[in-house]
Structure 1
Amino acid sequence: MSPTHPHNQGHAALTPSSASEPLSGADFKHQSIADASSQFDMDRCATLSEASPNLPTTLPNSKDGDSKGDDNDPITQGYFSRFCSSKQFLSFTVGLAVFVDLLCYGIIMPLTPFIVQKLGLKSTANGALIACYAVGLLVSSLAAGIISDRMANRRTPMVIGLLALLLSMVLFMEALNHFWILIISRLFAGLAGGATTTLGFTLLSDTYPSNRLGAEMGKVMIGQTLGLMAGPPLGGILHDRVGDKAPYVFCIVLIAIDLIARLLIVEPRSAKVKAIREFHEQQQQLQHEQQQQQQQHQQQQQLLEQGDTLGKKDGAVINSPEAVSPTATPSTVKVTTLVGLLTNMRLVTALAVGFLQAFPIAALEPVLPLYLEERFRLSQTQIGVIFLAFSIPTLVAPIAGWFSDRHGAKIMSGVAIASFSGIVVILGIPGMPLWAIIVLLFGIGATTAIFTTPVLGEISAAARVTGMVAGSLLASLIYQETNMLWTCVLIAGMTVLVLPMVFKYTGGKAQKLRDLAQYEMDLQEENLVLSQIQAQNQQQQLAVEVTSGSDSGSSSAEQKV
């Protein structure tokens, strides 16, 4: 790609071919404007160079958006730094973050129904604990999305979110006999979970192209699976064999390990994103100041037009966009309005699927432990082991992501949602033996992972937490007033409502190909902007060298004199 940008070519076109030729009035005016604009650009280049001194000198050139580290780039200097900025380490760290968050959630959730019973409260109180967690998740998901749009760095808010999770664990451990403090604890846990999910998946979307993102998110979902698998039985065992506070101490130790991993993250794209944003700010400021110059020239021309025909002719030239307006710069910043998002039915469908994913889980979690304890007289440890039947089949998430990357999510998600509805209704049939309940939970976990993986990320975070609020409160109330059958009918009914939207608006294979083409166009646009930034930095360095040479030559001449 040529370092000469059309903006500079426009200035060259306004410059006379020979400096020795005499200039007419119009040419002299054009030359002055071109010189002023060029000097203005040089000043802007200096500011940009100072603001982004660490911009890599090589551009990503692969279709997947991979960028090899430059030896002179401080981001990639040293083996340890290259390791911490590698895609594998970033995926591992996000997976670990999801694992720890879901493990802490899985340890606490099966215990809360019994904590509520011990306090002499009804099952709706347990639903309130889950709802408070969801409210915190909603607030932090929205806040993390805003922060993600404003900041190029994801690590700092992820660390803050983990500290909120640590605080929630300490509060929960020390307030088992105080319901309102438990409410506050679950609120902080939700704040931590929203930051982890939203920023973690955003970090993945920054790192991987669209044709690999589904598979990578599926791999990260293994962390969620392992957390949900290990949490309930581990929490029950630690509670029954060690003591009431043992599960929470174990969670605090894991949080400390997760904190170390998050602090080691080096984001390879943060310097590029920061440089591009600064570049666009400089371009906007340049355009604004040149528009002011244009207005001043127009005012001067109006005065000249009153008595000078040549001035009128010159004014027509000066008022042309080529003389004073900067050439349009490729922009990687796309402005999207809220109305545009809400009218995008593909996005609305993804949000509905996110709601659907959270609703049944939040509906079953407060009532299923009580149902198993009342009917089969199971202990907390046994109930935790049964929850494995729901968690183990979510290991199919990487396969679902791989399939979605190649063929789209329409058929796969639609069939999975329809199957899910039927399985949930069967689960509520009275007199179901324990082995059948375990098999049905296995099917619920598998179908949930299949239709959820394609819409992972912050795109559906707000919808998921809304589903948690509605699911936990409604299911707790219905189970308290009726039985397990009507709870399952509620879940199945909510599921069926989403099914037509999935078949109509969810993208298939053709849409997936269009998404990939759009990603490649965005990548080329980003590379073009980076090339322009580097060209301007090189121009600034050359200007500094020329100035230094002129100063040294003048000093030598003075010494000779």
Structure 2
Amino acid sequence: MSTSHDSSSPSPKPPTGIRWRSSTLFILSTVGMGLFTDLFLYGLIVPIMPFILRDRIGVPHSQIQSHTSILLACYAGASMLSCVPAGIIADRLATRQLPFLGGLVALLASTVLLFAGRSIGLLILARVFQGISGAVVWTVGLALVMDTVGSERLGVAMGSIFSIISVGQVVSPVLGGVVYKKAGSGAVFAMAFGLLVVDFLMRLAVVEKSASAEYGIVVDPSAPADEAENQNNGEANEESPLLRKSSDDDNDIEQWKIPPNQPTWVRRFPVISCLKHPRLLTAQGVAIMQALLLSIFDASLPTEAHDLFGFDSLQAGILFAPLLLPLLLLGPLAGKAVDIYGVKPASLLGFTTLSIPLLLLRTPHASSDSFSEILKLSALLLLCGCSLSLLSSPSIVESGHVVELYYRYNRAHFGSRSPYAQLYAVNSVASYLGLTIGPLMAAALRESVGYGNMNAVVAGLCLGMGALSWVYLGGKPRMLLWKRGRV
């Protein structure tokens, strides 16, 4: 637990195990565990939700899709509304740990209600609590990562974390389906409660680097003291690789200056003054699209698989594996590529290549040779997963880079602490907006124009987002700068 001490005390005793508890590896593992738990419990419910609605609540089959989408949207909507308050509170508190633990309390309440709920109202309330927990863990957790590693290693750190949490995304639907079919919902939620205990102990044990510095303890001696201080404070520095490889657009310092005498509401949430920049707005668009894509798969794939092949909860859970497995295998490599080559190539390639298998998802159909059609669907989902792995870190890295530049030239506006919790609150709002829109969009389009045409619409959105990424992410392309006489 993070501990502060009275400066009048001559030799305060550091917490037991402070070196390993405040090490970069343990902090990143704790954040990864928190995100893993959030997504594991989310994914645990997705493939069995239609069957809980049918078997426990008695919802007619014709209403399963709409009720599933509503429950997914409730989670996302609650998260979206909770992100900004979570970010403001986290930036104003001396430690990130307290709100991090508070999020876990909400997740516990959600799990209890999902286990015991026997009505739509209780299931909705459970999803609201789960959404609040998700907002806290993503907002505070990502800010804690930025505090710990700084911007220069953010891409590979986030790629590695997404690789860890994608295990939860891959395993939880399969486990949820298997255990629900073999042992019922009680066994499913026993796994959930066990995971919550481990997550709680790790969050309780973590010591932030700022707290260890108060005791004169340098946990990562390979990093120079001044560099570690900059990382802990989230400050930009001259040697940051992100700053060194920034485009010619970044040389115009005036674009990063924030006018003085901002309104009171802006000074209370200063990161909002950064949202005028098209690069940051585009980064939020990428976050919206990434979340929208995943939520559309969550909302429509189990129902489509049931309608085409008669899949039960176990088979629907297994079907998510080819979609999510590439995130596990390719996440760190994609994050490293973003650190080396920038966000523009990854985002452009991810969105453009994703549109192809999305268009082809109309081709699997019910037939006497269902095995070959299942293989076809699985192969297309695998290709979708490969493209999605390229989109896991560009939004977060680009957002951190832009705000780092704003913070560098406007210290008086932001105060003594960099606004990364507020930034990732905004980023989480964008993600949860996508998670809110996705299920509702999936229900509306699938019921009105069919599954194939729904995916065609989504493919068109991907192509549009890819074009915006090419123009704005990482600065204007040299071709456009040349036309404007900038190079």
Q: TM-score range by the shorter chain?
A: 0.7 to 0.9
- Does the Cα contact within 8 Å between 2:38 and 2:134 map onto a contact in 1? yes
- In structure 2, the CA distance between the partners of 1:486 and 1:509, relative to structure 1 (3 Å rule), is closer
- 1:544-559 to 2 correspondences below 5 Å: none
- Does the Cα contact within 8 Å between 2:37 and 2:195 map onto a contact in 1? yes
Q: Which runs of 5+ in 2 are unaligned?
A: 215-228, 230-266, 367-372, 397-423, 479-487
Displacement of 1:405 in angstroms is: 1.1
The counterpart of 1:484, out of the listed 445, 451, 458, is 451
Matched, 1:111 2:78: no
The counterpart of 1:451, out of the listed 391, 394, 419, is 391
The counterpart of 2:374, out of the listed 412, 429, 434, is 434
- Does the Cα contact within 8 Å between 1:144 and 1:199 map onto a contact in 2? yes
Q: Which runs of 5+ in 1 are unaligned?
A: 1-49, 56-71, 277-333, 512-561
Alignment partner, residue 220 of structure 2: none
Find the aligned partners of 1:476 and 1:132 in 2 and give their Cα distance.
14
**Number of equivalent positions:** 386
- Does the Cα contact within 8 Å between 2:21 and 2:207 map onto a contact in 1? yes
- 1:412-423 to 2 correspondences below 5 Å: 412-423=346-357
Alignment partner, residue 300 of structure 2: 367
Aligned CA RMSD, in angstroms, stands at 2.7
Find the aligned partners of 2:295 and 2:206 in 1 and give their Cα distance.
32
The counterpart of 2:88, out of the listed 125, 131, 146, is 146
Alignment partner, residue 441 of structure 2: 474
Find the aligned partners of 2:162 and 2:8 in 1 and give their Cα distance.
37
Find the aligned partners of 1:237 and 1:174 in 2 and give their Cα distance.
20
The counterpart of 2:462, out of the listed 495, 506, 513, is 495
- Does the Cα contact within 8 Å between 1:211 and 1:406 map onto a contact in 2? no
Alignment partner, residue 204 of structure 1: 145
- Does the Cα contact within 8 Å between 1:354 and 1:460 map onto a contact in 2? yes
Alignment partner, residue 7 of structure 1: none
1:226-273 Cα distance to aligned partner (Å, 9 max, x none)? 101110110111111111222112101110110011000111214779
Alignment partner, residue 393 of structure 1: 326
- Does the Cα contact within 8 Å between 1:479 and 1:487 map onto a contact in 2? yes
- In structure 2, the CA distance between the partners of 1:140 and 1:335, relative to structure 1 (3 Å rule), is closer
Find the aligned partners of 2:271 and 2:28 in 1 and give their Cα distance.
30
The counterpart of 2:315, out of the listed 375, 382, 385, is 382
Matched, 1:158 2:79: no
User: After alignment, is 129-138 or 494-503 more displaced?
Assistant: 494-503
Alignment partner, residue 79 of structure 2: 137
Higher relative contact order (CA 8 A, sep 6+): 2
Find the aligned partners of 1:408 and 1:148 in 2 and give their Cα distance.
29
- In structure 2, the CA distance between the partners of 1:222 and 1:430, relative to structure 1 (3 Å rule), is closer
Find the aligned partners of 1:159 and 1:472 in 2 and give their Cα distance.
29
The one-letter code of the counterpart of 1:390 is L
- Does the Cα contact within 8 Å between 1:408 and 1:509 map onto a contact in 2? no
Find the aligned partners of 1:132 and 1:96 in 2 and give their Cα distance.
24
- Does the Cα contact within 8 Å between 2:69 and 2:299 map onto a contact in 1? yes
- In structure 2, the CA distance between the partners of 1:91 and 1:53, relative to structure 1 (3 Å rule), is farther
SS of the residue corresponding to residue 393 of structure 2 reads: helix
- In structure 2, the CA distance between the partners of 1:73 and 1:139, relative to structure 1 (3 Å rule), is farther
Alignment partner, residue 87 of structure 1: 24
Find the aligned partners of 1:408 and 1:73 in 2 and give their Cα distance.
44
Alignment partner, residue 169 of structure 1: 111
Compute the TM-score of the two structures, normalised by the length of structure 1: 0.65
Displacement of 1:479 in angstroms is: 1.4
1:132-153 Cα distance to aligned partner (Å, 9 max, x none)? 0001211222122111221231
Displacement of 1:399 in angstroms is: 1.0
1:435-482 Cα distance to aligned partner (Å, 9 max, x none)? 111111112122112122122354521111111111110111221233
1:187-225 Cα distance to aligned partner (Å, 9 max, x none)? 100111111111111101001121111111111112221
- Does the Cα contact within 8 Å between 1:428 and 1:487 map onto a contact in 2? no
- Percent sequence identity is 29
Alignment partner, residue 462 of structure 1: 429
SS of the residue corresponding to residue 292 of structure 2 reads: helix
- Does the Cα contact within 8 Å between 1:113 and 1:366 map onto a contact in 2? no
- In structure 2, the CA distance between the partners of 1:180 and 1:335, relative to structure 1 (3 Å rule), is closer
- Does the Cα contact within 8 Å between 2:364 and 2:374 map onto a contact in 1? no
The counterpart of 1:218, out of the listed 119, 143, 159, is 159
- In structure 2, the CA distance between the partners of 1:339 and 1:138, relative to structure 1 (3 Å rule), is closer
- In structure 2, the CA distance between the partners of 1:204 and 1:337, relative to structure 1 (3 Å rule), is closer
Find the aligned partners of 1:111 and 1:149 in 2 and give their Cα distance.
37
- In structure 2, the CA distance between the partners of 1:127 and 1:103, relative to structure 1 (3 Å rule), is same
1:315-347 Cα distance to aligned partner (Å, 9 max, x none)? xxxxxxxxxxxxxxxxxxx99846632311111
Displacement of 1:84 in angstroms is: 0.5
Displacement of 1:105 in angstroms is: 0.7
SS of the residue corresponding to residue 124 of structure 1 reads: helix
- Does the Cα contact within 8 Å between 1:358 and 1:468 map onto a contact in 2? yes
Displacement of 1:122 in angstroms is: 3.9
Find the aligned partners of 1:239 and 1:481 in 2 and give their Cα distance.
31
Matched, 1:228 2:169: yes
Alignment partner, residue 191 of structure 1: 132
Find the aligned partners of 1:53 and 1:487 in 2 and give their Cα distance.
65
Displacement of 1:499 in angstroms is: 1.8
- Does the Cα contact within 8 Å between 1:141 and 1:461 map onto a contact in 2? yes
